[in-house]
A and B are shown apart, each in its own frame.
Chain A
Amino acid sequence: MEEIDLIRYAQKGDLDAFNRLVLMYQDLVYNQAVRVLGEEEAAQDATQEAFISTFRNLRNYRGGSFRAWLLRIVTNACYDELRRRRRRPSTPLEPQDEDGEDIESPHWLVDPGERPDDRIERNELEAALQHCLNGLPLEFREIVILVDVQGLDYAEAAQAAGKPLGTIKSRLARARDRLRDCLKGFGELLPLEYRLKGEDK
């Protein structure tokens, strides 16, 4: 069944049709939540909240990119989560092993086929990139995730962010500039192909 048919059925209240849409888009939505929030536990909550909200407000969907519409909802859910966290700051519980030691990476992120060196390198790189993302103001972070991480074009990003195209362009440029500055501090962590010019010498 086509996406548009699934949306139409879901709009009539068909939960099965909607759940098929969920399965199609859950990785994208969760990825957006993780990148915006920088935290997996909160990202799961935001993703679930976003899907519930999507189902409830499906009647308001008036065509256009469904992906962009979903991303907008999940981004708003992330903003709500960040606002909540700002009101009630809490220390996240790190996953621990049987001896009570903190686990660096939860088991679901471990790829069994990956070599330990590669994993460390990947984790370090990812951590560096996420660290720089977290340092961005929310409005810049949202745009750079939509365009560079999720791969949306400018028009879709504008729809997802609910901002004009010009705003998307200028915010993206400024976000990239800030990320460039931030990543210079992680030069030694970045793989050769990612290192900035002149740093690998």
Chain B
Amino acid sequence: MKPQTSPHDLEMLSLYLDEKLNPTQRKRLEERLKGNQALSLTLDELRHTRTAYRNMPKVHSPRNFTLTQQMIGSGIAKRVYPAWGFVSALAGFLFVLILAGDLLGIFTRQSRTVALRQISDSEAAAPAAENLQEKSVLAAPTSTVLSTETPSLQAQEAFQALAPAANEPTAQNTQAAPETLAKTAPGGAETATPLLEGMYAKEAPSPDLGGSDEVGSSGVMSDTLRTSLPTAPAVAESFAQSLESTPTPTGNQEIPAEITGGNEKVPVQSVEKKPETDSWQMILWVLEGLFASTAIIAGMIVFFQKRKIAHDRRRG
């Protein structure tokens, strides 16, 4: 009866016969062989089998197999279609290009999405900033109007640009800020100008403008400064221009009634976001399609040509 030997043991025995075991494995196996009769018998049988096949008579070739020119035809097979090698390389290159293009597209879309999300987040945060500005900075309705009309980042920046202007009380700054505020606030120009006068007088005690510390602290503006201050409508005009140049994704908006005092609804013209026809993206897609179809066709041609060559060779 054939002794049951596991495949692992069989492999170890076979390697042992060919002296392919390392010293540790050999020693372990030899120890096992001493105590395991069945394993020892299997080893003997395998050794005899191996010996039988090693001594199997070598068959000599009945004739010479030397080749003649007729047999080989045109000689060593040159690359029958060297162009196909180039086509294969081209197909591979195009494939890589397509993959790279796809990856690039994904990254571009992702970055665009992130940018849009940031914009929308900042827009969402704008009302909060508006409330803060309403309560703490300016109590006058003109300031409310100003802050509610800045839904986008650019508009907010434009608004913030007014603050440093106020902190640097040169003649130019004092001209620009009140005008902007005055025009933005219909009917509020009269209130804006004194307010700004007070602010500028407080924060801009420049001797060049004829102001002094005393004047600044008392809130009374000197004549020189007063004449150099621009009017509120001019300030509002410049701010409106900055708003017009800023597209808002929220469509047409109306200024709330509490801002306008319920007198009128002033529609704020905002640029509607049109679906962006990315012509580059279209070109990329078309190119991708062309490349992919070229690669597939080239691959198929090479495959069928090689099959045909192999078939012809087999048929001799």
Which residues from chain A sit less than 8 Å from chain B, CB to CB? 11, 13, 15, 18-19, 22-23, 26-27, 29-31, 34-35, 40, 44, 47-48, 51-52, 55-59, 80, 106, 108-109, 122, 125-126, 129, 144, 147-149, 151, 154, 169-170, 172-174, 176-177, 179-181, 183, 190, 193-197
Contact = CB atoms under 8 A, between A and B. Distances in A.
A44 B56 CA distance: 19
Contact of A30 (B13, B50, B56, B61): B61
Nearest to A30: B61
Interface string B46-68: 10111111111111111111110
Given A180-B49, A183-B52, A196-B44, A44 B76 contact: no
A176 B50 contact: yes
Contacts of A193: 51
Given A15-B69, A31-B58, 19 more contacts: A15-B75, A18-B67, A19-B67, A34-B59, A40-B59, A44-B63, A48-B65, A52-B71, A55-B72, A59-B76, A129-B53, A149-B56, A151-B54, A169-B11, A169-B15, A176-B49, A194-B48, A197-B41, A197-B45
B10 interface: yes
A58 B76 contact: yes
A177 B46 contact: yes
Contacts of B61: 26-27, 29-30, 47
B273 interface: no
Interface string B1-35: 01001010011011100101000000000000000
A105 B30 CA distance: 45
B5 to A, nearest CB: 8
22 contacts: A15-B67, A15-B72, A22-B67, A23-B66, A29-B65, A30-B65, A35-B59, A48-B71, A52-B72, A56-B76, A56-B313, A58-B76, A122-B57, A148-B53, A149-B54, A169-B14, A173-B7, A173-B13, A173-B14, A180-B45, A183-B49, A194-B55
Contacts of A144: 53
A44 B62 contact: yes
Contacts of A176: 10, 14, 46, 49-50
B228 to A, nearest CB: 89
Nearest to B5: A177
A173 B10 contact: yes
Contacts of B66: 19, 22-23
B135 interface: no
Nearest to A57: B77
Interface in B101-145: none
A147 B54 CA distance: 9
A56 B72 contact: yes
A194 B57 CA distance: 14
A137 to B, nearest CB: 15
Nearest to B57: A126
Nearest to B63: A44
Nearest to A175: B14
A22 B65 contact: yes
Contacts of A59: 76-77
Given A52-B71, A169-B20, A172-B14, A11 B48 contact: no
Contacts of B11: 169-170, 173
Contacts of A31: 58-60
A-B pairs with lowest CB-CB distance, top 8:
A173-B14, A148-B53, A30-B61, A173-B11, A56-B77, A19-B66, A180-B49, A26-B61
A44 B67 CA distance: 13
Contacts of B314: 80
A22 B64 contact: yes
A154 B65 contact: no
B55 to A, nearest CB: 8
Nearest to B41: A197
Given A122-B57, A174-B10, A197 B48 contact: yes
A183 B2 CA distance: 12
Nearest to B78: A59
A27 B2 contact: no
Contact of A55 (B15, B59, B76): B76
B65 A51 contact: yes
Given A15-B72, A44-B63, A180 B46 contact: yes
Contacts of A22: 64-67
